[in-house]
Amino acid sequence: MSSHNRGDWYEETLRQKYNNPRLLIQVLDKMYGQGNYKVRTFMNRWILSLPQPFQAGDLDVIEDHIRFHYNPN
């Protein structure tokens, strides 16, 4: 994960690439509220633009939520 500030947004790069962006949108809506973040891809990585930098464990919450749908066991 990397983080940089671009104006009022903090960019965070997910560690893994997932095929279902709807799962990412679901968890981001819960964490930040609909419309309070931006998602883009660059070189097969999802880059999140957030109103604040990740707090400890935020990345794990996001990736665990997505990963659970790929492997629920």
63: enclosing H helix or E strand: helix 58-70
31 CA to centre of own chain: 10
The answer to pTM > 0.85 is no
Q: In angstroms, rounded to a whole number, what is the distance separating the alpha carbons of residues 53 and 68?
A: 24
pLDDT in tens, 29-59: 998 999 999 999 888 788 999 988 888 888 8
Do 14 and 64 form a contact (C-beta atoms < 8 A)?
Answer: no
Is the CB of residue 13 less than 8 Å from the CB of residue 45? Answer: yes
pLDDT of residue 1: 45
- Helix, coil or strand: residue 19: coil
